[in-house]
Amino acid sequence: MANSSNEKVYNVLAYIGILFIVGLIADSQNPKVRFHVNQGLVLFLAEVVLGIVCGIISAIPFIGFIGSICSGIIGIVGVVFMIIGIIHAANDEEVPLPVIGGITILK
């Protein structure tokens, strides 16, 4: 029972920013933990890359406001995806995130 409790904690933490590392280090051989860690890693990397792109767009004169709008949208979508992932992890479900869930980094 304690193992499944830890598994659920690792699965939930996987969606909270860089905390996906906790599950990766603690229980990377568990297929369920690995699934959620992969989803969290993909979400984290997508937010970082899109944040950088939005930041670059923000620096362009006359259209910089588009980068600011983009950044806000990315932030909201990131939080929504994080909540979706946490709900699935807490319910012990392996459901991919919308749009980015099909990307596999960890095999």
- Kindly report the pTM of this predicted structure: 0.88
pLDDT for residue 78 is more than 80: yes
Report, as an integer, the average pLDDT of 80-91.
Answer: 96
Residue 77 pLDDT: 96
Q: Are 101 and 39 in contact (CB under 8 A)?
A: yes
pLDDT bucket at 86, cuts 50 / 70 / 90? very high
N- to C-terminal Cα distance for the chain? 26
| Residue 20 maps to a domain | yes
- The total domain count for the chain is 1
Report, as an integer, the average pLDDT of 3-19.
Answer: 89
The boundaries of the domain holding residue 51 are 2-90
Share of the chain above pLDDT 70, in %: 96
Give the Cα separation of 20 and 13 in Å (integer): 6
pLDDT digits (tens, 9 = 90+) for 34-58: 999 999 999 999 999 999 999 999 8
| Residue 100 maps to a domain | no
| Residue 99 maps to a domain | no
| Residue 81 maps to a domain | yes
